Chain A
Amino acid sequence: MDDRNVKIHVSNLKKCFGDLEVLQDISTDIYEGEVVVILGPSGSGKSTFLRCLNRLEEKTSGEIMIDGRDIYAKGLDINKMREDIVMVFQHFNLFNNYDVLGNMTLAPVMLKKANKAEAEANAMKMLERVDLVEKAHVYPAQLSGGQKQRVAIARALCMNPDIMLFDEPTSALDPEMVGEVLNVMKSLAADGMTMVIVTHEIGFAREVADRIIFMDGGYIVEEGTPEEVIGNPKEARTIDFLNKVL
């Protein structure tokens, strides 16, 4: 296709929960620095697909390669791999028993990526980036939803990841807080972070996505640039979905 580096290569990915086939046959390549937004109705398998990318779900069959390495290979250190491919969750999942700084330094310190002082200095830099320096010593329970999600993003950034996965990062937020989180994500995209985002924010997708993947029933129905998929959809299911949400 072009000369960019393939970051994530997915071929014939299939995932079943018991008899339920959530992912039927997914194949796609995601390039370095690319921002890919996955759209689709609920139950289409988009979150499951995302969770397969860092093995929060185990595949049923197929292949996922990240930087040319099979992430399901025997003997692969899955924890080591996850340091580079972090996830931001719909429900934030901040560690309730640590303050904001603790949330951000726990993994880097435990995984010996930095000593405590370095990790804290780095964490403060990341907090600055999401504009929450004053909340460094506050516990998650005292933050608003939007603040929690910004901390979660900052926490992910502290791992200095190659790839960031976003699983409906604004779906649990009050409408007035959606913007602040999307703004942080936009700045990440502008910095060239490789991002895979599951979202229902069509406007955001149109603005930041390099490519949109529309999924339904466990298949990729349509993919292309925002102009192609949102502006001029070809498949009936895509048109139907966009009519409902726009």
Chain B
Amino acid sequence: MEIIITRYGGLLIKAMGQTLLLALYGLFFACIVGLIFGLMSVIKNKPCNIIAQVFVFVIRGVPMIVLAFFIYFGVPYFLNTIIGLGKQVTLTALQAGTICLTLNCGAYMAEIIRAGIQSVDIGQMEAGRSLGLSYGKTMRKIVMPQAIRTMIPSIINQFIITLKDTSILSVIGFPELVNSAKNVQANTFLSFQTWAVVGIMYLIVITILSYAAKLMERRMNRGR
């Protein structure tokens, strides 16, 4: 265990940094994608509803590892070879990983946001509308703030899942924690120690995140 920590600790911490970076990019764009598709599934517009439903259906129905291979290998191959674009399109592992997390987490976020909005009593929207406020204004000032409060636990849960899901992106060669740990194991043959340390590192980061999230949740619920 000491060898892993003293000799490879720095490397693993750096790799954890990459994990966090990837998760951060993914979560940031996933929030945007989730908000867009979440809103698209609640507004009164059939085409938008269907597009949002199909998006969620496809992403939920495909394992993320398949999505990762598809985006990293499949999409550039499609663009370069099948369509035959003039120049070579390549994606870095970080780009592909970010897209993959964005789509995957975004679909789940869309569902969380949809459910959150629908959990707010329809009367809140009707009251806003009947006072002359537009749909958008009512959504922004009345429905959304209430929806977010009920969404927060699920969103935090999804953030944690997404952080852990970055490990799947080791398969496309992104140097995050699991990928780096595989190298450490290969060099040292200390598989028990390596994976124990890696597990504990995930646990620490997620504990800190959960705690911060709890604080935030309590803050948002204050006075209610």
Q: Tell whether, in the assembled complex, residue B224 and residue A139 are in contact, meaning their CB atoms are under 8 Å apart.
A: yes
Least Cβ distance of A143 to chain B in Å?
14
The segment from A104-112, A123-131, A200-208 that touches chain B is A104-112
The segment from A15-23, A31-39, A92-100 that touches chain B is A92-100
Whether B187 sits at the interface, judged by CB under 8 Å, is no
Q: Which residue of A lies closest to B146 (CB)?
A: A97
| 0/1 interface trace, chain B 134-156, chain A, CB 8 Å (1 if under) | 10010001100110000000000
Known interface pairs A93-B121, A110-B141. Does A79 touch B133 (Cβ–Cβ under 8 Å)? Answer: yes
Q: Tell whether, in the assembled complex, residue B123 and residue A107 are in contact, meaning their CB atoms are under 8 Å apart.
A: no
Residues in chain A near residue B130, CB distance under 8 A: 54, 56, 82, 86-87, 89
Known interface pairs A95-B142, A97-B145. Does A111 touch B127 (Cβ–Cβ under 8 Å)? Answer: no
Q: Tell whether, in the assembled complex, residue A89 and residue B123 are in contact, meaning their CB atoms are under 8 Å apart.
A: yes
For chain B, the bracket of interface size reads 10 to 19
| 0/1 interface trace, chain A 59-92, chain B, CB 8 Å (1 if under) | 0000000000000000000011111001101010
Tell me, in angstroms, the Cα distance from A96 to B124 when the chains sit together.
8
Residue from B121, B123, B132 whose CB has the most chain A CB atoms within 10 Å: B132
Q: Tell whether, in the assembled complex, residue A79 and residue B134 are in contact, meaning their CB atoms are under 8 Å apart.
A: yes
Within 8 A of A (CB), among B19-75: none
Q: Tell whether, in the assembled complex, residue B126 and residue A79 are in contact, meaning their CB atoms are under 8 Å apart.
A: no
Tell me, in angstroms, the Cα distance from A103 to B123 when the chains sit together.
14
Residue from B126, B127, B129, B137 whose CB has the most chain A CB atoms within 10 Å: B127
Whether A101 sits at the interface, judged by CB under 8 Å, is no
Whether A155 sits at the interface, judged by CB under 8 Å, is yes
Which of A80, A93, A96, A97 is the one whose CB lies under 8 Å from B132?
A: A80
Within 8 A of A (CB), among B159-203: none
- Number of A-B residue pairs with CB-CB distance less than 8 Å in the complex they form: 65
Whether B128 sits at the interface, judged by CB under 8 Å, is yes
Within 8 A of A (CB), among B80-139: 121, 123-124, 126-134, 137
Known interface pairs A93-B121, A95-B142, A97-B142. Does A111 touch B133 (Cβ–Cβ under 8 Å)? Answer: yes
Residues in chain B near residue A156, CB distance under 8 A: 131
Residues in chain A near residue B132, CB distance under 8 A: 79-83, 86, 107, 111, 159
Least Cβ distance of A10 to chain B in Å?
18
Residues in chain A near residue B121, CB distance under 8 A: 91, 93
Q: Tell whether, in the assembled complex, residue B127 and residue A89 are in contact, meaning their CB atoms are under 8 Å apart.
A: yes
Residues in chain B near residue A121, CB distance under 8 A: none
Tell me, in angstroms, the Cα distance from A93 to B122 when the chains sit together.
9
Residues in chain A near residue B124, CB distance under 8 A: 93, 95-96
Residues in chain A near residue B131, CB distance under 8 A: 82-83, 86, 106-107, 155-156, 159
Which of B123, B134, B145, B224 is the one whose CB lies under 8 Å from A93?
A: B123
Whether A190 sits at the interface, judged by CB under 8 Å, is no
Tell me, in angstroms, the Cα distance from A93 to B130 when the chains sit together.
11
Given contacts A93-B126, A97-B142, 5 further A-B contacts (CB under 8 A): A82-B131, A89-B126, A96-B124, A106-B131, A155-B131
Closest 10 CB pairs of A and B: A93-B127, A83-B132, A93-B123, A107-B131, A87-B130, A82-B132, A97-B145, A79-B132, A95-B142, A79-B134
Task: Offer 15 A-B interface pairs, CB within 8 angstroms, sorted by A.
Answer: A79-B129, A83-B132, A87-B130, A93-B124, A94-B127, A95-B142, A96-B124, A97-B146, A98-B142, A107-B132, A110-B141, A111-B132, A139-B223, A152-B127, A155-B131
By a beta-carbon cutoff of 8 Å, the part of chain A in contact with chain B is 54, 56, 79-83, 86-87, 89, 91, 93-98, 106-107, 110-111, 139, 141, 152, 155-156, 159
